Structure 1
Amino acid sequence: MMFALAGLAAAALVLLIVAIGVTIWLYHRREQRRADGKTNVGWIVFLVIAYLLSISYLAFFVLLMISAFTGESVTVG
């Protein structure tokens, strides 16, 4: 079970890295895309979903690891 969760956490980390890379790419190409008349709506939707999925799952995984190593239940809020 932990190996599956670790794999999902690794996938979430890769997704976060890709989202950061796309954000940087869009930032550097903003003037060229604006001149070409292209919009970033699709990329923005992708980035919002990618950031939400990766950050929320990584936070869940960190809380799970804290709970596993301390033996206590970790709650948020």
Structure 2
Amino acid sequence: MGRRRQTAVYSPGGCGCGLLLLPVIAVSIGVMFALAGLAAAALVLLIVAIGVTIWLYRNREQRRADGKTNVGWIAFLVIAYLLSISYLAFFILLLVSTFTGESVTVG
């Protein structure tokens, strides 16, 4: 009689470690999409801020003649530029460190 060959069944990762890491991988993917969404929102905010800046510049004489002030618009622009540029810089540094594997620091 011939010997029967037995095949071994292996789980992913050898010991089931891959199964244990599935929740961590799922959370990581969710965080990635959240950060990408924040970066997209920051980019939209930057585009809106640039549009408002151009609009205020083109209508400055008319607004001055009407006696309107730009205090509210200036406050909006300062906040919009600070939020969008700082987050986009953070996101770019995060991408650089992700793809190069090096820690990126400023300063």
TM-score for the superposition, normalised by structure 2: 0.71
Q: In the alignment, does 2:38 pair up with 1:27?
A: no
> What residue number does 2:35 align with?
5
Q: For 2:104, what is the secondary structure of its paired residue?
A: coil
* Letter aligned with residue 58 of structure 1: L
> What residue number does 1:53 align with?
83
Q: For 2:93, what is the secondary structure of its paired residue?
A: helix
- Between structure 1 and structure 2, the one with the greater Rg is 2
* CA drift at 1:30: 0.3
Report how many aligned residue pairs link the two structures.
77
The structure that is helix-richer by fraction is 1
Question: Where in structure 1 are there 5+ consecutive unaligned residues?
Answer: none
* Letter aligned with residue 66 of structure 1: V
**Among the aligned pairs, what percent are the same residue?**
90
Report the Cα distance in structure 2 between the residues aligned to 1:54 and 1:65, rounded to whole angstroms. Answer: 16
- The CA RMSD over aligned residues, in Å, is 0.4
Q: Determine which structure has greater relative contact order: mean sequence separation of CA pairs < 8 Å that are 6+ residues apart, divided by chain length.
A: 1
Which runs of at least 4 in structure 1 moved beyond 4 Å after TM superposition? none
